[in-house]
C-alpha cells in the first residue's frame, strides 16, 4: 500500500509538471477498501506540500525528504546567511575600515604603543557605529513609529554610551563628561554647518527650508539641558552648598531623573500627540496620497531577526573595542602630547560619528534638510537629554560619583553654542553662508580645547598614576624581601 501511495504522488507530480489534465484510468474512482482509506489519509498529508510545489516544482532527479522539502534546504540556509552578510558587511565602502578593529587588538597584544592602539580602535569603531544605525533602521520597519523612535533613541548614540559606560567602569568620569559634550558640540556646529554649507553650494541661489516646529522644540530641549548642567556648576563655584560635596551630586542625580522624564515625554509628544506637526517641509503631499509611490519603494533589506542578530553582533564588537579605546586614551595623550580634553571633545566625536556626519551632508545635498536636522540637532538632543542623564544614573548604580558639573569652561562653551545655533535655526531657512559660520565657530571651539588644560582630568590621571605607582612599590618592596625569606626557609628546612 505504501508503494501505491508513492506511485500516486509521483503521478500527480508528473501531471503538474507537464500540465496534463487527465489521469490514468486505473487510478480513477473506484470502490474503496479499508486498506485504501489509510492510503487516502497518507495522501492528504502530502496535499499541502503538493500545493507549495505547484509554484516551485521539484525536478525529477532531485531527491525528496519525507517532509516534502528538498535535500537542498541547508544550501538555501547558507545562501540566506551569505545574502545577509553581503547586504550588511559588503554593501558599504566604509566597512573597509572593519579590519582595523582586530588589528588594534593585535597591536595591543604585541606592542605597548597606546597611541596606535587608540587610533586603530577609533578607525575600527567607525564602520561599526554606522552599521549599528543601519540595523536599527531596518528593525524599525517591523516595529512601527513609536517603538522605532525608542530604538533610535537607544541605539542612535549607542557607541558613545558604550564608550561612556566603559569609562565609568574605569573611574574616568571626566572622560565621560568631555566625550558626551564633544558629541553635542560636533553635531550642532560641525555636522549642521557642513550640511548647510554643502546643501547651499549644491542649491546655489536658493534658500533651503526646514520645519521650524521641530527646530524650536529641539532648541528648547537643548536649553533645558544647559539649565541642568549650569546649576550644579554655579552651586560648586559659588560655594553655596548646604552639604559640601553632597548637595552638588544629589542635585545632579535629581536633575538627571527629571531630564530623562522630559525626554520620554518628548518622544510621546513627537511620535503620538503632534506627529502631524513634524511632517518635513515639502512632504505634506504624502499625507494626502500624492507621493505614495516613493513610500512604497522603501522596504527592509533584511528580516526582523537578522536585524536583531546584527544589532547584538555590532554592539558586542563595539563593546570590545571600546574597552581598548578607554584603556589607551591616556597613553595616546602622552604619546601625541595632546591634552585629554582635546582628544575627548574633538577627536572622539569626529572619528566616531564620521558615518553619521556623512549621512547628514548627503541628505542636505538632496534638499532634505529636515532629515539632516534630525541627524544633527536630534542627535544632540538625544545626548543632552538622554545620554548624559543616563550616564549619571548608571554611575549612581556603579557607585561612581558622576555629576552634571561639567566645570565652568565647558558649561559656558555649551551655553554659547546652543544660543548661536538657536539663532541660526529661528528663521527655518539655510544657505551656505550660515553653514560657513557654524564651521568657523567649531574651529574656534576646537582651538580653545587644544590650549585648555583641564584640571579635573589631570587630577584623575595623576591619581590613577599614584595609585598604580603605590601598588608597584608595594610589590617591589615584597620582592626585595623574597631572598631573605628564601634563606630563612632553607635554614629552617636544614635544621
**Half-sphere exposure of 169 toward its Cβ, with a 13 Å CA cutoff?**
12
* pLDDT of 196: 93
C-alpha 345/C-alpha 180 separation (Å) is: 8
Give the pLDDT band (50/70/90) at residue 246. Answer: confident
The answer on pLDDT for 59 being more than 70 is: no
Question: Hey, how many other C-beta atoms are within 10 angstroms of the C-beta on 241?
Answer: 16
The pLDDT tens digits for 124-133 are 988 888 888 7
* pLDDT of 322: 86
* pLDDT of 376: 87
Most confident of 5-14, 19-28, 356-365: 356-365
The answer on pLDDT for 32 being more than 70 is: no
Least confident of 292-296, 298-302, 390-394, 400-404: 292-296
The answer on pLDDT for 106 being more than 50 is: yes
* pLDDT of 146: 55
Give the pLDDT band (50/70/90) at residue 65. Answer: very low
* pLDDT of 144: 66
The closest alpha carbon to 257, from 90, 348, 94, 391, belongs to 391
The pLDDT tens digits for 421-433 are 999 998 889 999 9
* pLDDT of 273: 63
* pLDDT of 225: 93
The pLDDT tens digits for 133-160 are 788 878 878 876 556 656 765 676 777 8
* pLDDT of 284: 44
Q: How far is CA 130 from the centre of its chain?
A: 7
The pLDDT tens digits for 433-478 are 999 999 999 999 999 999 988 776 555 555 444 444 443 334 333 3
The answer on pLDDT for 74 being more than 80 is: no
The answer on pLDDT for 78 being more than 80 is: no
**Mean pLDDT score, 221-249:** 89
* pLDDT of 368: 86
The answer on pLDDT for 9 being more than 50 is: no
* pLDDT of 211: 86
* pLDDT of 139: 84
**Mean pLDDT score, 174-196:** 92
User: Which one is predicted more confidently, 485 or 73?
Assistant: 73
* pLDDT of 36: 45
* pLDDT of 137: 79
Residues 6+ apart with CB under 8 A from 319: 162, 166
C-alpha 291/C-alpha 162 separation (Å) is: 39
Average pLDDT along the chain: 76
C-alpha 148/C-alpha 156 separation (Å) is: 11
User: Which one is predicted more confidently, 210 or 298?
Assistant: 210
The closest alpha carbon to 213, from 285, 278, 280, 270, belongs to 278
Residues 6+ apart with CB under 8 A from 165: 391, 394
Which three cell numbers, joined as nine digits, stand for 10? 509521483
The answer on pLDDT for 62 being more than 50 is: no
**Mean pLDDT score, 196-218:** 88
* pLDDT of 294: 46
**Mean pLDDT score, 1-23:** 46
Give the pLDDT band (50/70/90) at residue 243. Answer: confident
* pLDDT of 434: 93
**Mean pLDDT score, 219-242:** 91
The pLDDT tens digits for 329-342 are 888 888 888 888 89
Q: Is-contact 174 339, C-beta < 8 A? A: no
* pLDDT of 458: 53
Give the pLDDT band (50/70/90) at residue 385. Answer: very high
* pLDDT of 274: 57
Amino acid at each position: 500500500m505504501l508503494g501505491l501511495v508513492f506511485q500516486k504522488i509521483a503521478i500527480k507530480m508528473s501531471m503538474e509538471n507537464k500540465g496534463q489534465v487527465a489521469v490514468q484510468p486505473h487510478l480513477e474512482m473506484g470502490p474503496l477498501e479499508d486498506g485504501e482509506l489509510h492510503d487516502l489519509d497518507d495522501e492528504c498529508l502530502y496535499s499541502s506540500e503538493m500545493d507549495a510545489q505547484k509554484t516551485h516544482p521539484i525536478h525529477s532527479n532531485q531527491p525528496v525528504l519525507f517532509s516534502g522539502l528538498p535535500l537542498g534546504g541547508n544550501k538555501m540556509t547558507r545562501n540566506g546567511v551569505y545574502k545577509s552578510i553581503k547586504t550588511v558587511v559588503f554593501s558599504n565602502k566604509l566597512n573597509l575600515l572593519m579590519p582595523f578593529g582586530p588589528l588594534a587588538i593585535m597591536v595591543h597584544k604585541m606592542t605597548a604603543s597606546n597611541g596606535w592602539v587608540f587610533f586603530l580602535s577609533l578607525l575600527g569603531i567607525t564602520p561599526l557605529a554606522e552599521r549599528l544605525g543601519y540595523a536599527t533602521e531596518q528593525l524599525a520597519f517591523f516595529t512601527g513609529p513609536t517603538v522605532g523612535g525608542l530604538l533610535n533613541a537607544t541605539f542612535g548614540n549607542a557607541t558613545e554610551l558604550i564608550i561612556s559606560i566603559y569609562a565609568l567602569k574605569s573611574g574616568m568620569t571626566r572622560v565621560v563628561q568631555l566625550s558626551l559634550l564633544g558629541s553635542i558640540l560636533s553635531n550642532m556646529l560641525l555636522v549642521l554647518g557642513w550640511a548647510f554649507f554643502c546643501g547651499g553650494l549644491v542649491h546655489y541661489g536658493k534658500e533651503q527650508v526646514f520645519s521650524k516646529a521641530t527646530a524650536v522644540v529641539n532648541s528648547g530641549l537643548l536649553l533645558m539641558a544647559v539649565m541642568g548642567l549650569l546649576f550644579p556648576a554655579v552651586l560648586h563655584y559659588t560655594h553655596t552648598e548646604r552639604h559640601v560635596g553632597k548637595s552638588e551630586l544629589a542635585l545632579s542625580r535629581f536633575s538627571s531623573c527629571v531630564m530623562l522624564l522630559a525626554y520620554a515625554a518628548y518622544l510621546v509628544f513627537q511620535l503620538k500627540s503632534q506627529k502631524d506637526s513634524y511632517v518635513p517641509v515639502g512632504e505634506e503631499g504624502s499625507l494626502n496620497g500624492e507621493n505614495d509611490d516613493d513610500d512604497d519603494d522603501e522596504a527592509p533589506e533584511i528580516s526582523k531577526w537578522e536585524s536583531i542578530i546584527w544589532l547584538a553582533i555590532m554592539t558586542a564588537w563595539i563593546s570590545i573595542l571600546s574597552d581598548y579605546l578607554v584603556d589607551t586614551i591616556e597613553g595616546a595623550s602622552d604619546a601625541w602630547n595632546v591634552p585629554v580634553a582635546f582628544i575627548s571633545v574633538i577627536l572622539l566625536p569626529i572619528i566616531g560619528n564620521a558615518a553619521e556626519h556623512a549621512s547628514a551632508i548627503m541628505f542636505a545635498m538632496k534638499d532634505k534638510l529636515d532629515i539632516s536636522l534630525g541627524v544633527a540637532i536630534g542627535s544632540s538632543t538625544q545626548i543632552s537629554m538622554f545620554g548624559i542623564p543616563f550616564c549619571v544614573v548608571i554611575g549612581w548604580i556603579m557607585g561612581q560619583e558622576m555629576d552634571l558639573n561639567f566645570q565652568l569652561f565647558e558649561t559656558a562653551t555649551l551655553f554659547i553654542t546652543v544660543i548661536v545655533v538657536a539663532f541660526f535655526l529661528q528663521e527655518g531657512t539655510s544657505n551656505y553662508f550660515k553653514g560657513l559660520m557654524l564651521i568657523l565657530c567649531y574651529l574656534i571651539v576646537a582651538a580653545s580645547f587644544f590650549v585648555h588644560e583641564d584640571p579635573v582630568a589631570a587630577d584623575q590621571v595623576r591619581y590613577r598614576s599614584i595609585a598604580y605607582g603605590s601598588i608597584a612599590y608595594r610589590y617591589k618592596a615584597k620582592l626585595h624581601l623574597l631572598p631573605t625569606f628564601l634563606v630563612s626557609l632553607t635554614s629552617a628546612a636544614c635544621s
